[in-house]
Structure 1
Amino acid sequence: MQLEGIISTGEAMFKKILASVGIGAAKVDTILETEHLYPGQKFQAQIIVEGGDVEQQVSGLELALMTRVKVESDDGEYFTNHVLDKWRISEQFVISPGEKKVIPFEARLHSETPITELNAGYNHSFVWVETGLDIDLAIDPNDKDTLHIYPNEAVKACMQAMDKLGFSLVKADVEKGYLRASSFQSTSGCYQELEYRPNSRSLFGIQEIELSFVPEAHKTHVLIELDRAFRGDGYVDLTIEHDHVNVSQLCDQLERLFN
C-alpha cells in the first residue's frame, strides 16, 4: 500500500509537470453566436473551460480582438499581430480534472475593426478573437476564432460609388499607425487601406486612390489619398452621415474631390 501511495503521488507530480508545459492542461474554447459581424457591432459568445488531468488554479481569462498589420521600418516591411481591443472577463477560479465551466460573454467590436469580406485581387485583411487562460506556472492554452467582418452601409456605398466612377479595388491591407485629419482621428493604432486603380485612363489624371475609413456611431469619416500623374500625392477627406447614405450623391462628392 505504501508503494502504491508513492507511485500515485509520483504520477500526480508527473501530470503536474506535463500540465505546466501544456500537456494534459486545461483547455479553453470560445463559441461565438456568429462569426459574421460589422465593425462596432455587439457579439455574444460562450467560453468553455475544460479541466485537464490535474486540478489547476486559473488566475483569469482574457479575450483579445486581433488583426494583422503591416509595419514599415528602416529594415523594410514586415507583418505582425496587433491587438484592437481586449477584455479580462473572469476572476480566478480552480478547474478540477475533467470539469467543464461555461462562461457567457458579450462585448462590442471596435468601431475601427478592419473589413475582411472584400472583393480585392490581394486581400491581406484578417480579424480574429483569441482566448487565453492565465494559469499559474503553466503555458497559456489559447483558442483562435476567425471573424468575417462586413462593411457598414456608408462604406459599402462609398465602394459602390468608386465602382461607378470607373475604379477597381486591387488591394486591401492593414497598416500600423494612426489617421489624422482636420475633423477626426483614428484610435485603434492601425488603419485599413483599400487601394483602387482606374479601369482605363483616368479623366482626373489619377493613377491610384487609397481609401481609409474611421467609423463612429452615426457617421463614417473617409480619408482619401490621391496619387495623380503630374501633381503627386495629396489627401482629401469627407464624412458620410449614416442617415443620409446615397450612392449618387457620393459619386458627385468624390468627383469634386478628385478634380
Structure 2
Amino acid sequence: MPKPAVAPSVDVCVCTYRRASLVQTLASIDAQVGVVGAVRILVADNDETPSAKPLVDGEAGRWPRVYLHAPARNISVARNALLDASTADFVAWIDDDEIADPTWLAALLAAIGDHDAAFGPVRAVYPSNAPDWILKSDLHSTRAVETRQGVVTGYTSNALVRRAAVGRERFLEALGRSGGEDTEFFTRLYGQGRRYVAAPEASVSEPTAADRLTLKWLTHRAFRAGQTHALTYVAAGQRGRGLVSAMAKAAACMGLSTVLAWNGVARRRLWVRGALHRGVAARLLGVRDLQLY
C-alpha cells in the first residue's frame, strides 16, 4: 500500500522593528484555519535592543514561536536570519503591520502546487480621512503581476516559498536600507529557473499610515522600486537597452499625465508609474539609491 502523504511543514517568518502591531499580526497567524501540517512562527527583531522579545514571548500562542535578535536596522539582515533559522518545507512571509485572513496560509498552500513560490494580495486599509483619489487609485495595495511569462518576481509582504528552492541564496544587505531587497531576491531566483504563481485567495490586510497618503510618498516609493528593477538590466548586461527603455517610458507617462490632467486619478497614477521608470534610469546612470530605512 502507498504511504499516506505527509502534510508539509511551514515556518511563518516575520521581520519586525519597533511595531506594537506585531501582536495583532501574531494573533492573526494563530487564528489560521484549514492548515494541517506543522507550523512555527519565526520573528526576527531588527532593533538594536531586543525590544520585540516581550511581544513574542509574552503570551503563548497556538503555534510555537521562535524569537531571533537580528540587529542592524537593515531588513536584509533580519530576512537572512529567518532563512538561516528555517527548517520547514515552506517559508511563509508576512509583515509586522499586516493582518492575515483566517484562510491565508491554507490558500497559499493550495495555490503553490509544484511552483517554487506563491504571492497573495495585500489589501490596503485606508483611514476615513483618506483623499478620494487615494481610494480610487488604490496604489498602496499590492498584488502579483502576471506577464506573458507568468509571475516573474515577488515580494515578502505576502508569500509562500519552497525552502529547497532558496538553497543558499540570501537577500542582499546592500539593499537592506534602501528597500527593494525582496524584489531583487525573487527576480534573481526567477533567473535561476524558479517559477512562481499568484494566489489571489490568500489575502492579508495592511493599514495605511496617514503620512503615506500623499503623492510625494507614492512617487518616492515608486522611484526606489525602479532603482531596484534596474539591477535586472545590469545583471543581464543590458544597461544601455534598459536606459533607453526607461527614459522612453518615463517620457510617455509624463506626456499622458499632461494629456489627462483633467482626470485626477489617472494623472496621479501615470505620474507614479513614471517615477518607477525614472528610478530605473537614475540607477543606470549611477544615481545613489534612496534610503527608506
Query: Given the two structures, how large is their TM-score scaled by the length of structure 2?
Result: 0.23
**Which one has a larger percent helix, Structure 1 or Structure 2?**
2
Say which one has the larger Rg: 1
Query: Given the two structures, how large is their TM-score scaled by the length of structure 1?
Result: 0.25
**Which one has a larger percent strand, Structure 1 or Structure 2?**
1
